[in-house]
Structure 1
Amino acid sequence: MERYKKEFIDFMVECRVLKFGSFTLKSGRHSPFFMNAGAYVTGSQLGRLGKFYAQAIHDNFGDDFDVLFGPAYKGIPLSVATVIAYHELYGKEIRYCSNRKEIKDHGDTGILLGSSIGVGDRVVIIEDVTTSGKSIEETYPIIKAQGNAPDAVKIVGLMVSLNRMERGLETTKCALDEITERYGFPARAIVSMQDVVDALYTDGDRKIITDELKKEIDAYYHEWGAR
């Protein structure tokens, strides 16, 4: 495991973004763990988070993109923090963009916040986590509607912080694999839940994932895990 990935796992736990317990997800599934990117609230936390995302995006997609799109609402601070970090780490200016939940009909009109998206733009989508692929159903048509032509804007890929490694809405495949198959672009994560278990279950005296919790996680994946 790359060093920044192990550091990111520790960072999620430190910030209480990754929690273990009993949670009901947006998909209706009951999970023994939950990730909430909304718990990153300080300047230092967002600064570090942006660097983790920037490293993962650079590793997976390189520099050949123009816009980082963070769907409202949680994707907005993610996209802003990451474009700042990307410039600091790699010296490239990337524009950030997000969407409004409701279209504004006065002043700065339209559905987009931040940068516009135009013909020839290459876009990376950034989210906190995707469990079943529901969120991309809203994001994809918004991006593809820009540029006034079906193929005017190219989506380079999707980056999330955690691959939950569970089946999507329509198949027994991982939600990220399902997104790739349906929409035709790669969907990646900074770390997978397997990375998290490997790091926190075997971490010596600081065992965050206990034997009992490990059994609960295993049972969850027996029911909902990707095949």
Structure 2
Amino acid sequence: MRQADKMSDRVEKLMLDLFDIEAVKFGDFTLKSGIQSPIYFDLRVIVSYPVIMLMSAHHDVPMLIRRKEAKDYGTKKMIEGKFEPGSSCLIVEDVVTSGSSVKETAESLESVGLVVTDAVVLLDREQGGKQKLKEAGIALQSICGTSQLLRILRKHEKIPESVAEQVRDFVRNNTFPPSQEPPVKKSRKILSYRERGDLCQHPVAKQLFGIMESKKSNLAVSADLCTTAQILKLADEVGPHICMLKTHVDIINDFSAEFVQSLTELANRHEFLIFEDRKFADIGSTVQHQYRDGLFQIADWAHLINAHSLPGAGVLEGLKQVGLGKQRACLLIAEMSSQGNLATGEYTKATVKMAEEHQDFVVGFISQSQLSDNPAFIHMTPGVQLSGSGDGLGQQYVSPWDAVVTRRADVIIVGRGVYKDPDPATAARSYQTAAFQAYQHRLTN
């Protein structure tokens, strides 16, 4: 028997099997688009029939899974699986109608550096999806189309001719027309740091975007050290490679006004901003004193601070009364990198809303992913290491590529990966290069 005949017989048997397990149904069904259809493909049932399952396991080919949306817990990835940027990926779909689902999957894959040129589908409804995908630069191959399926089912008398004709009429009357525009693969415009800086109203955000552009650095180093000498030494070593130095002032054993003066001089010399990771989280009158007064007088030297949204808008009102006059800015903590944290879901959404209502002072977020399409908001992602993994104390690390390309962070925050390295300057340069290359990929893809 010829190979083509064998293939035809296998397709015919598969279509009959799908009909028998009710993966193909005839009747009156409402599709996702709201259109009433006389035929419905419900291929999710095949998970209960292992003999029908195909592809990855049978051929020992690595598989990736695209989530419908990134989860607000765990890895928060849109694309699950192991892959290398630049690799080609074949999209495998169950049913294609307009091709929109395949295009969305292709865009998600391309956003993490994968190359998509082809897709294969089990059942093509033959309603214009193949042409739509061709216009987007994706070649679609189908195992079976609606017309062939109807011929098979009629041949074996699974459905009457009246039902087959009803489906044919439906397909003819509900086909998506080809675009009148020339074939082109559309992509969303990603603004550069310079362009986003031009859109900013707050001077700190504008300054930060300018530093990131001129130094080709979207790296912030967290100086989680306990003596002023250690911090100043680190700041001088990594200063040429960073856009920002993050401090934890309340763990410093020998804080002094002289330390503030020296750190400020280093920031001016190496052109980076100072971000005090104080995490304000109290009523307005209390945070005012914490920000302005006491031993640390944070508002006098830190360009940026951050705050939890848990106390409500009062925490921002209190901080603003101190910081606005000094041209300081605040980041809201919308998501955290520690395992089991509660900054997720509705809390995160409420935090974004609070930021939108206080854009005179709030310039962005500490987050694990992009939360707002507003180009003036800066997203900073902590918990970044070149190798990923974790620390055994609940900290979960992501790579610079994952943070910037997949999660769309603007700035990566690295602590132990730099200051615990025997050569912090070289380590910082490695992170600077990796993160900025990831940003450039996002910009050009």
Contact 1:130 1:163 survives alignment (8 Å): yes
How far off is 1:127 after superposition?
1.3
Find the aligned partners of 2:73 and 2:33 in 1 and give their Cα distance.
35
Evaluate the alpha carbon distance shift between residue 101 and residue 194 of structure 1 in structure 2; reply closer, same or farther with a 3 A threshold: closer
Evaluate the alpha carbon distance shift between residue 103 and residue 195 of structure 1 in structure 2; reply closer, same or farther with a 3 A threshold: same
Contact 2:46 2:52 survives alignment (8 Å): no
Counting only pairs closer than 5 Å after superposition, residues 191-210 of structure 1 correspond to structure 2 as: 191-203=144-156, 207-210=157-160
Q: Which residue matches 1:136?
A: 102
Evaluate the alpha carbon distance shift between residue 22 and residue 113 of structure 1 in structure 2; reply closer, same or farther with a 3 A threshold: same
* Residue 62 (structure 2) pairs with residue 95 (structure 1): yes
* Residue 165 (structure 2) pairs with residue 211 (structure 1): no
Residue in structure 2 matching 1:108, options 59, 75, 78: 75
TM-score, length-normalised on structure 2? 0.36
Q: What letter corresponds to residue 37 of structure 2 in structure 1?
A: S
Evaluate the alpha carbon distance shift between residue 105 and residue 225 of structure 1 in structure 2; reply closer, same or farther with a 3 A threshold: closer
Q: What letter corresponds to residue 85 of structure 2 in structure 1?
A: V
How far off is 1:128 after superposition?
1.1
Find the aligned partners of 1:3 and 1:98 in 2 and give their Cα distance.
30
How far off is 1:15 after superposition?
1.4
Q: What letter corresponds to residue 135 of structure 2 in structure 1?
A: E
Find the aligned partners of 2:152 and 2:74 in 1 and give their Cα distance.
49
Paired positions, count: 171
* Residue 132 (structure 2) pairs with residue 178 (structure 1): yes
* Residue 85 (structure 2) pairs with residue 85 (structure 1): no
Residue in structure 2 matching 1:40, options 39, 46, 67: 46
Q: Which residue matches 1:68?
A: none
Evaluate the alpha carbon distance shift between residue 143 and residue 34 of structure 1 in structure 2; reply closer, same or farther with a 3 A threshold: same
Find the aligned partners of 1:5 and 1:107 in 2 and give their Cα distance.
40
Q: Whose RCO is larger (CA < 8 A, sep 6+)?
A: 1
Q: Which residue matches 2:282?
A: none
Q: What letter corresponds to residue 165 of structure 1 in structure 2?
A: E
Q: Which residue matches 2:423?
A: none
Contact 2:98 2:176 survives alignment (8 Å): no
Evaluate the alpha carbon distance shift between residue 118 and residue 225 of structure 1 in structure 2; reply closer, same or farther with a 3 A threshold: same
**Any unmatched runs of 5+ in structure 1?**
51-81, 88-93, 148-152, 167-173
How far off is 1:161 after superposition?
1.0
Evaluate the alpha carbon distance shift between residue 199 and residue 141 of structure 1 in structure 2; reply closer, same or farther with a 3 A threshold: same
Q: Which residue matches 1:190?
A: 143
Contact 1:23 1:33 survives alignment (8 Å): yes
Counting only pairs closer than 5 Å after superposition, residues 146-185 of structure 1 correspond to structure 2 as: 146-147=112-113, 153-166=114-127, 174-182=128-136, 184-185=137-138
Which structure carries more strand by proportion?
Answer: 1
TM-score, length-normalised on structure 1? 0.68
Q: Which residue matches 1:31?
A: 37
Q: What letter corresponds to residue 53 of structure 2 in structure 1?
A: L
Secondary structure, counterpart of 1:126 in structure 2:
strand
Q: What letter corresponds to residue 75 of structure 2 in structure 1?
A: D
Evaluate the alpha carbon distance shift between residue 210 and residue 225 of structure 1 in structure 2; reply closer, same or farther with a 3 A threshold: farther
Secondary structure, counterpart of 2:58 in structure 1:
helix
Find the aligned partners of 1:121 and 1:216 in 2 and give their Cα distance.
43
Q: What letter corresponds to residue 220 of structure 1 in structure 2?
A: F
Q: What letter corresponds to residue 87 of structure 2 in structure 1?
A: D
Secondary structure, counterpart of 1:32 in structure 2:
strand
Q: What letter corresponds to residue 143 of structure 2 in structure 1?
A: I
Residue in structure 1 matching 2:28, options 19, 22, 29: 22
Q: Which residue matches 2:173?
A: 223
Deviations 1:128-151 (A, max 9, x none): 10212221242122100113xxxx
How far off is 1:176 after superposition?
1.6
How far off is 1:107 after superposition?
4.6
Q: Which has the larger radius of gyration?
A: 2
Secondary structure, counterpart of 1:165 in structure 2:
coil
Contact 1:163 1:189 survives alignment (8 Å): yes
Deviations 1:180-216 (A, max 9, x none): 222x12112111111111111122xxx1220221231
Contact 1:98 1:113 survives alignment (8 Å): yes
